[in-house]
């Protein structure tokens, strides 16, 4: 039986030798964990390890201005309507709606702007202009550019 006891002692010694530093590390980690837990309770929020995600941006949509432009407001206080007759869309630029302002710009650029197409003309006072299409339109545009 003494041989058995000796063997047990040897094994216990070897195990203690191997596990000695490990147990020290484990107790050290436990102590650190206790410190982290105490800090977390003091700060009121659990401490995350690692870089983690930055805090979520606060929703700015409530304070941000609405996208797009507001419709132009006429002298009467209500939203201004396009200057072209039978259009009725809200005016956006120079008294014209988006579509008719583009037409206005195109006519101005090609020197074909009729005299009644004035900026900030009265609502519904401007007569629409039917432009020739296709080959006739190309011919008219070339003649307008020659001038």
Per-residue DSSP letter, 111 = T
Interaction of residue 91 with Zn ion, rule CB under 5 A: no
Give 31-96 as a DSSP string: HHHHHHHHHHHHHSSPPPPSS-PPPPPPP-TTTSPPSSPPPPB-TTSSBPB-SBTTT-PBP-BTTB
Q: Please count the residues of this chain forming the interface with Zn ion, following the rule CB under 5 A.
A: 6
Interaction of residue 80 with Zn ion, rule CB under 5 A: no
Interaction of residue 82 with Zn ion, rule CB under 5 A: yes
Q: How far apart, in whole angstroms, are the C-alpha atoms of residue 96 and residue 114?
A: 15
Q: How far apart, in whole angstroms, are the C-alpha atoms of residue 86 and residue 31?
A: 82
Q: How far apart, in whole angstroms, are the C-alpha atoms of residue 60 and residue 132?
A: 49
Q: Do 72 and 80 touch, CB atoms closer than 8 A?
A: yes
| Shortest CB 103 distance to Zn ion, Å | 8
| Shortest CB 112 distance to Zn ion, Å | 18
Q: Which of 72, 81, 97, 126 binds Zn ion (CB under 5 A)?
A: 97
Interaction of residue 100 with Zn ion, rule CB under 5 A: yes
Interaction of residue 84 with Zn ion, rule CB under 5 A: yes
Q: Which residue's CB is nearer to Zn ion, number 123 or number 140?
A: 123
| Shortest CB 85 distance to Zn ion, Å | 9
Interaction of residue 87 with Zn ion, rule CB under 5 A: yes
Look at residues 68, 112, 114, 110 and name the one whose alpha carbon lies nearest to residue 90. Answer: 68
Q: Which residue's CB is nearer to Zn ion, number 32 or number 98?
A: 98
- Footprint of Zn ion on this chain (CB under 5 A)? 82, 84, 87, 89, 97, 100
């Amino acid at each position: 039986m003494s041989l058995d006891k000796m063997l047990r002692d040897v094994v216990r010694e070897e195990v203690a030798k191997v596990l000695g530093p490990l147990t020290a590390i484990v107790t050290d980690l436990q102590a650190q964990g206790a410190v982290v837990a105490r800090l977390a309770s003091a700060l009121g929020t659990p401490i995350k390890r690692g870089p983690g995600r930055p805090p979520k941006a606060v929703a700015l949509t409530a304070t941000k201005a609405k996208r797009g432009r507001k419709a132009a407001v006429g002298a009467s206080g209500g939203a201004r309507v396009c200057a072209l007759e039978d259009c009725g869309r809200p005016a956006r630029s120079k008294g014209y709606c988006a579509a008719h302002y583009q037409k206005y710009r195109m006519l101005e650029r090609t020197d074909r702007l009729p005299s009644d197409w004035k900026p900030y003309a009265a609502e519904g006072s401007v007569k629409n202009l039917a432009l020739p299409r296709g080959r006739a339109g190309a011919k008219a545009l070339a003649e307008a550019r020659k001038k």
